[in-house]
Amino acid sequence: MFLIDLHSITQKKTHESISNRLALVMKSGKYTLAYKTVLGSLRSSKGKLIIIANNCPPLRKSEIEYYAMLAKVGVHHYNGNNVDLGTACGKYFRVSCLSIVDPGWYTLGSNFPSGFCAKMCAV
Amino acid sequence: MGLKSERSVFLIFKISKLLCYSPETLTTNTSTEGEGESEGAKMVKFLKPNKAVIVLQGRYAGRKAVIVRSFDDGTRDRPYGHCLVAGIKKYPSKVIRKDSTKKAARKSRVKCFVKLVNYRHLMPTRYTLDVDLKDVVSGDCLQSKDKKVSAARETKKRFEERFKTGKNKWFFTKLRF
């Protein structure tokens, strides 16, 4: 008898949808990659959603979260490390945190960032 | 160079420990924020006047300060986001009940500084300090030494008043790191 690993299947499914959404933002929207620019976008209150990879050093992660808390901006913890996040962004380098400034075509669909993240969080 | 960067990293470490927020409330932000299309525009600028910040670099690293005036887009001399802060150079000591009034007065002295600091060299906190310093610490107060000294002296007076009322205790306690 097969033992279907439902959990991993659902994980993979939402993971794919995350990548699709990110790809859409990469193609049509505005974003900044990496720690320095993420903080910059938070300070100037331009960022709308922050995505942090799971192997981001905890001090840096909590610093970004603190800034995001002050700026009332959502933070999403990406289910993958910086290599995966870089690949998801379509880049050939590692990305440990990124900030979405303008979601581009994604805004036409549902509201951002809740719609973006709802599927991500619903694992 | 290495020593300086180590120190600021250590500072941030201590700051993160002390700033006491719960990470859970942050990650659920994404689900609670979905209350209509307007929420996308609800980003808050937090580097505003009266915000308490911690200076991360320079001679005053580790000192708490208040933003008096912020220049988000910079000026011609400083083409980056920076702000005018008024901070505490020397914190007031702990005043105990046993102290005589003379001693208590001596212990509650606050030494202040006024400085233009790059946003990158500040750590914003969730605290605010609403002491009116706009008239005292104006844009031109850093142009000459006497103006700077008189501005620092005025802020010292205001900070000491505030300290004596017992409010904003966090601001007047030294950040241990």
**Residue of chain A whose Cα is closest to the Cα of B20:** A66
Shortest distance between the Cα of A91 and any Cα of chain B, in A, equals: 25
Residue of A nearest to B44 (CA): A71
Is-contact B3 B9, C-beta < 8 A? no
Cα–Cα distance for residue pair A24/A17, rounded to 1 Å: 11
| Residue type present at position B136 | V
Task: For residue A48, give the nearest of B12, B43, B81 by CB distance.
Answer: B43
Decide: B93 and B105 in contact? Cβ < 8 Å.
Answer: no
pLDDT one-digit tens code per residue, B98-140: 989 999 999 999 999 999 999 999 999 999 999 888 888 888 8
pTM of the model: 0.80
ipTM score of complex = 0.78
Which tokens is B48 given?
A: 């505003």
Say how far apart CA A45 and CA A71 lie, in whole Å: 7
* Chain-chain contact of A46 with B40 (C-beta, under 8 angstroms): no
Separation in Å, CA of A8 to nearest CA in chain B: 22
Residues of chain A whose beta carbon is less than 8 angstroms from a beta carbon of chain B are 39, 43-49, 59, 62-63, 65-77, 107, 111-115, 117-118, 120-121
Residues B59-89 pLDDT 10s:
999 999 999 999 999 899 999 999 999 999 9
Helix (H, G, I), strand (E, B) or coil at B164: helix
CATH architecture assignment, domain B51-172: Roll (2.30)
Q: How is chain B split into domains, by residue range?
A: 51-172
pLDDT mean over A93-113: 77
Task: Tell how strand A49-52 and strand A74-77 pair up.
Answer: parallel
Task: Answer yes or no: is pLDDT of A12 > 70.
Answer: no
